[in-house]
Amino acid sequence: MDRIRIVGGQRLNGTIPISGAKNAALPLMIASLLTEDTLILDNVPRLVDVVQLQRILGNHGVDITIAGKRPGDDPNSGRTLHISAKTIVDTTAPYELVSKMRASFWVVAPLVARMGEAKVSMPGGCAIGTRPVDLLIMALERLGAEIEIEGGYVIARAKNGLRGGEINFPKVTVGGTHTALMGAALAHGTTVIENAAREPEIGDVADCLNKMGAKISGAGTSRIVVDGVARLHGARHAVLPDRIETGTYAMAAAMAGGDVLLQNARPELLQAALDVLVRAGATVTPTNEGIRIARNGAGLEPVEVTTAPFPGFPTDLQAQLMALMTRAKGTSHITETIFENRFMHVQELARLGAHIHLDGETATIEGVERLKGAPVMATDLRASVSLVIAALAAEGETMVNRVYHLDRGFERLEDKLARCGAAIERISS
Ligand code: EPZ
């Protein structure tokens, strides 16, 4: 299993190209199931989760070809996928495939909307707490699907197609909103989604569905209205930049010091996180090319942060911020409100010398003068990258084990950081 070796203490200077968003690319690929025509997606990141989803879609009969790069193409831009779900050969998504990635459960909505039935294993995914699918099932039921749960599978049926309905989410859910959108796009009649997730990735999927002929308005607000259509057609869409990757490298630059341009990043996708970085003492400058993050020799200020659905501070940046605050000049508090068990990084950060105390959903972080390198490992994607951030400022060598978590969600991480001067290398084994 690969490992990443980091020797801390180098400042970061240079440019980091931001990839297409994992959490938009995955539902966009799944949306291809809604049409017989080809969906072309540009700027798809090269990630293990994308490859895994290609396998899952392949099992349903979806054909995916990856366009080669032409001379003159930007080497940093993502891949172009031509996805054709012309013939769906199987409406079952088996345990062996779905258990590896939670988002693959989302195939249930387009399959039942287009084929009238779907049998999808209950999901797996990162170890960040119990992650039920009750609200996704509720959304499908509101669209007229009959649901049975049997032997670890959710079986959804709508022999005469889905029909529009009122879906009022008691809690903001990204996956629930994607499910409602994809189901409603092909339903008979109008669907109103209340308390919808406002995450930018929802807007990106809605934009793509509209290019495919869907009639969706209000995406990006908490009330989305979908007028169902009889069929969707092919389209071409570029995946929006990854706001979590952007925030991660912004925190890395704030931790290590230096001056980094996050190329293609869009500030409006992560304003809450940028505001926190400014409070912590980083200089954040939006430019035509992206976002510049700089921090000179001055120390980091502690912050008080609570995670919340968009436009609040994202849970997917909580671990990275905690890593940053381990070196602040004082005590910070970070409260996690989205997932109840998303603190697996705490004990690993402690190995590097961090002082963190957990009390329920709040972590108290007492900044320390120095961190010291150590072997560490983590259990989820964002937790792993928080260890990389801490290691950039730790004295000596840190070895991050179980790198496959990083490869699920960060494209060429060691390469992007090394180009800015970090002493980081992958050790393959
Ligand atoms: C998406 O997960 C993201 N995944 C997660 O990113 C992200 O952390 C999360 O949204 C929150 O922003 C993808 O986009 C692929 P939710 P999702 O449904 O959709 C509860 C990463 O690191 N809930 O918004 O699964 C749930 O337990 C990943 O890239 C129910 O109670 O999250 C949680 O407390 C990790 N019942 C809250 O809602 C349900 O049926 C929000 O979850 C569904 C969710």
Distance, in Å, from the CA atom of 7 to the CA atom of 112, rounded to the nearest integer, reads: 50
d(CA 123, CA 132): 9
User: How much distance in Å is there from the Cα of 199 to the middle of ligand 1?
Assistant: 11
Residue 384 Cβ inside 6 Å of ligand 1? The answer reads no
The pLDDT of residue 418: 98
Please give the average per-residue pLDDT across 216-221, as a whole number: 98
Per-residue confidence (pLDDT) for residue 258, from 0 to 100: 97
| CB 318 within 8 Å of CB 340 | no
Res. 103 pLDDT band, cuts 50 70 90: very high
Residue 132, ligand 1, Cβ within 6 A: yes
> Is the predicted pLDDT of residue 391 greater than 80, yes or no?
yes
Residue 174: CB within 6 Å of ligand 1?
A: yes
259 C-alpha vs ligand 1 centroid, how far in Å? 33
Task: Please give the Cα distance from 38 to 29 (Å, whole number).
Answer: 11
pLDDT digit string, tens, across residues 181-217: 999 999 999 999 999 999 999 999 999 999 999 999 9
Residue 171 binned pLDDT confidence (cut-offs 50, 70, 90)? very high
Nearest atom within ligand 1 for CA of residue 133:
40
Query: What is the rounded average pLDDT for all residues in the chain?
Result: 95
| Ligand 1 centroid, distance to 174 Cα (angstroms) | 6
Nearest CA to ligand 1 atom 5: 316
Ligand 1 center to residue 266 CA distance, Å?
Answer: 22
pLDDT at 128: 45
Ligand 1 pocket check for 90: Cβ under 6 Å: no
User: Which pLDDT score, from 0 to 100, does residue 77 have?
Assistant: 76
Return the pLDDT at 131.
67
- d(CA 197, ligand 1 centre) in Å: 10
pTM for the full model?
0.97
Q: What is the pLDDT of residue 411?
A: 95
Residue 129 confidence (pLDDT): 52
Q: Determine whether the shortest distance from the Cβ of 292 to ligand 1 is under 6 A.
A: no
pLDDT at 69: 74
Confidence category of residue 74, pLDDT binned at 50, 70, 90: confident
Atom index in ligand 1 nearest the CA of residue 129 equals 27
CA of 134, closest atom in ligand 1 = 40
Give residue 126's pLDDT band: very low, low, confident or very high (50, 70, 90): very low
Residue bearing the CA closest to ligand 1, atom 38:
173
pLDDT (0 to 100) of residue 124: 57
Amino acid letter at 391? Answer: A
Active-site amino acid positions: 126
The answer to whether 221 and 200 are in contact (CB under 8 A) is: no
Report which of 160, 183, 54, 56 is spatially closest to residue 111, judged by C-alpha positions.
183
pLDDT in tens, 307-337: 999 999 999 999 999 999 999 999 999 999 9
387: Cβ below 6 Å to ligand 1?
A: no
Domains and CATH numbers, the chain: 3-19+241-427 (3.65.10.10), 22-238 (3.65.10.10)
With beta carbons less than 8 A apart as the criterion, state whether 346 and 358 touch: yes
Give the start-end residues of each E strand in 68-136. 79-84, 92-93, 117-121
Query: Looking at residue 248, what is its pLDDT?
Result: 98
